[in-house]
Structure 1
Amino acid sequence: MGKPLSVVICDDSRLARKQMERALKQWNVDITHASHGLEALEAIRAGKGELLFLDLNMPLLDGYQVLERIRANDLPTLTIVVSGDVQPEARERVIQLGALDFIRKPLDTDLLTQSLRSFGLLEELAERPADTVNDAVETDLESARPQPLNRTRGLGLDPVSQAFELTESYQELANVAMGQAADRLARLLKVFIELPIPHVQLVELCEFDMALHQATGDNPITTICQGFIAPGIAGEALLMFSDSSSQDLAYMLGHEGEITDQVERELMMDIANLLIGAFLNGLGSQLDLSFGQGSPLILGQHCSIPNLQQNSRWTRTLSIDIGYRIEGRDLSCDLLLLFTEDSLPAMNELVRHL
């Protein structure tokens, strides 16, 4: 067996990096982890990245910026993008920037193998001897196997503390679901959606309410609420539109005529159904869950955000906050997923076994 191929896995999610590392176990590779683009570039310059697996949504330096710097500095690496942002234009952009291929999250090992084969990289990635692969697999299985109570990280803690331990995993799940929802919206509106890093936190609802009001200020918005349930899980999704979004939204959806309050409500309800439904489907598919959804309701139109504490039946929440921005237009909306505290035991159990 020859010299291992140096590989950099660049992703701000520890869960995503571990999944990629497991997928590469069968091959002769020397893996370096990078949690953001600057670390990846440092590793490539140090000769540790003949092959780069690159996420797009990251802090400090995102995937697009990494590809631009690789090209500008003629760095010696081949890049395959692995991302939850599955918009058609995202794939086109990274290929134009020099990436060999684009693989969607969650990672499919068959698609990974197919991609490596199509670019002649399997010859470079000589397979490890069977006993070495078996040792690596056994190590992975051992780390994934449920451990006794006092040896498993997070167990023995209350559900809120367990959820806090799993924040990075929740963020990666939200990242994939966010990308799938953005893809649906981008195809409907024929635009490119600028995606953030999802913000996941565990907070008292009263504190979250105050922070949200401070962030939105007195700016008039329209807020739509939709409840959702799954076995052992319940929550509410809130979609908030700024008033400045109405005209652009109507134009992109092909509406002709006067934009009355009723027309505006109908347009925004359609977008809410699409975004919330796609996000929950994306989240559920990763957790092997099927979410049921209630009918969307408008909590307020052309006013400040309603008091969430008055409209909810719980005091503490796991929240996922995503701001969708449409490139080149004055159109944005914020999606909030609020899970009840009673949902945390079931959610934690599912996430822990990923």
Structure 2
Amino acid sequence: MSKNILICDDSGIARKQLSRILPTEWDAQVEFAKNGQEAIDRIGQHSTDVLFLDLNMPVMDGYQTLEALQSIANPPKVIVVSGDIQAQALERVKALGALEFLQKPVDPNLLKETLEAHHLLGLEDKQGALILGDAVEDFSLSQCLQEVSNVSMGRAASVLADMLNVFVKLPVPKVNILEVSELQMALTYGAMNDDRCSAVTQGFVGAGIAIEALLIFSDSSFPDMAKLLNVTEKIDRDMEIELLMDVSSVLIGPFIKALGNQLNIDFSYSHPIVMGQHVKVSDLINVKRAKWKRTLAVEIVYEVENYEINCDLMLLFTEDSLPVLERLLSYLVEEE
């Protein structure tokens, strides 16, 4: 019997990736939703057997969607597909009724095994999946970079969550080509609204791609950071530098490693340096104004649940990196 499948992910690239690795013999009709609200509306109007659900989405995220499904009669079986691999993320989605959790990017063999284990793929399935609608509209460097950044973000957050025994709240990565003035506006929005902040910067180079990673901490984060790291000494400027370096090594290193794995690049790197302490964001930008000018920027705001800890990770790619990035990321939308 044909199955009605719904793939819910804000990333068109992710929707395309998942739809093209569905078992070729699966007798299924596949449709798409760009956020949890679209998925709930679709499920309310049409019977849905299986929902593949992302976690980090605008409008309504995966956790909210799972909660909303609990009040729907005959809800679909839910398989979460996410780059957020924190142990607490897995526990939370299972507690909310998810059948299974698959890590992005999904291994086709594991996907098939999961469907068979939960009796969603029968031996009689031979027809093949019918894709209704477009999984992704067109190729875009920003779309592709956002998706690989989403996976890298999840890897880094998992390391931080394990180190501090916390849950890290993850956003949808923002990808934009920015002038230096726009970069300042981006950094002063949201988590970086505090007057003062401290920052660490580190450079990475590989295969024609040059990245400067800039991690900016709100100064109000230091007390809770020290508490979670079991620091009992007085938090002076030297201790703040130590805390900055500890957390930046966890967030930047695993992120770049995961990014390199997806691009098949081994990045070489410079030593991290403190770019400023207790300064305004505008002062940070002025330090590098002549160098940055115009850049491709990926922005991720990390927040630790139940603690006053937030930091802004900016990945700044040189203009010369763009053609190389576009070529390396093209595999995400290539047809098999």
Q: How many residue pairs end up in the alignment?
A: 323
1:242 is aligned to 2:218: yes
Q: Which amino acid aligns with 2:152?
A: A
Q: Counterpart of 2:316?
A: 338
CA distance in 1, matches of 2:47, 2:107: 25
Cα separation, partners in 2 of 1:214 and 1:170, compared to 1, 3 Å: closer
1:221 is aligned to 2:191: no
CA distance in 2, matches of 1:75, 1:323: 37
Deviates more, 1:266-275 or 1:71-80: 71-80
TM superposition shift of 1:214: 6.4
CA distance in 1, matches of 2:264, 2:86: 23
1:308 is aligned to 2:308: no
Q: Counterpart of 1:276?
A: 252
Q: Which amino acid aligns with 2:252?
A: I
Deviations 1:306-352 (A, max 9, x none): 34354252421110000000001111111000000011110011112
- Asked if the contact 2:187–2:312 (Cα under 8 Å) also holds between the matched residues in 1, the reply is no
Q: Counterpart of 2:14?
A: 16
1:347 is aligned to 2:322: no
TM superposition shift of 1:205: 2.1
SS at match of 1:353: helix
CA distance in 1, matches of 2:244, 2:322: 30
SS at match of 1:179: helix
**Percent sequence identity over aligned pairs:** 43
SS at match of 1:267: helix
Q: Counterpart of 1:202?
A: 177
CA distance in 1, matches of 2:74, 2:68: 8
Q: Counterpart of 1:324?
A: 302
TM superposition shift of 1:287: 1.3
Cα separation, partners in 2 of 1:326 and 1:217, compared to 1, 3 Å: closer
1:168 is aligned to 2:143: yes
Cα separation, partners in 2 of 1:254 and 1:126, compared to 1, 3 Å: farther
CA distance in 1, matches of 2:189, 2:80: 37
Structure-2-length-normalised TM-score: 0.91
TM superposition shift of 1:203: 1.3
Deviations 1:284-324 (A, max 9, x none): 11111122221111111011123435425242111000000
Deviations 1:1-46 (A, max 9, x none): xx31100000011111111111115111100111111111122122
TM superposition shift of 1:238: 0.6
- Asked if the contact 2:22–2:112 (Cα under 8 Å) also holds between the matched residues in 1, the reply is no
1:182 is aligned to 2:175: no
Deviations 1:265-294 (A, max 9, x none): 011111111111111111111111122221
CA distance in 1, matches of 2:205, 2:60: 36
- Asked if the contact 1:309–1:315 (Cα under 8 Å) also holds between the matched residues in 2, the reply is no
TM superposition shift of 1:128: 2.4
CA distance in 1, matches of 2:97, 2:193: 42
Give the 5 Å matches for 1:67-216: 67-123=66-122, 126-129=124-127, 165-213=140-188, 216=192
Runs of at least 5 residues in structure 2 that lack an aligned partner in the other structure: 132-137
CA distance in 2, matches of 1:257, 1:207: 39
Q: Counterpart of 1:36?
A: 35
Deviations 1:226-278 (A, max 9, x none): 11111101021111111111111111111122222101101111111111111
Deviations 1:61-85 (A, max 9, x none): 1111111011123343110000011
TM superposition shift of 1:210: 4.4
Cα separation, partners in 2 of 1:269 and 1:276, compared to 1, 3 Å: same
TM superposition shift of 1:211: 4.3
SS at match of 1:174: helix
Cα separation, partners in 2 of 1:23 and 1:91, compared to 1, 3 Å: same
Deviations 1:103-153 (A, max 9, x none): 010111122122112212222x74325xx68x99xxxxxxxxxxxxxxxx7
RMSD: 2.1
1:47 is aligned to 2:24: no
CA distance in 1, matches of 2:184, 2:303: 22
- Asked if the contact 1:7–1:48 (Cα under 8 Å) also holds between the matched residues in 2, the reply is no
- Asked if the contact 1:324–1:332 (Cα under 8 Å) also holds between the matched residues in 2, the reply is yes
SS at match of 1:72: coil
Q: Which amino acid aligns with 2:218?
A: S
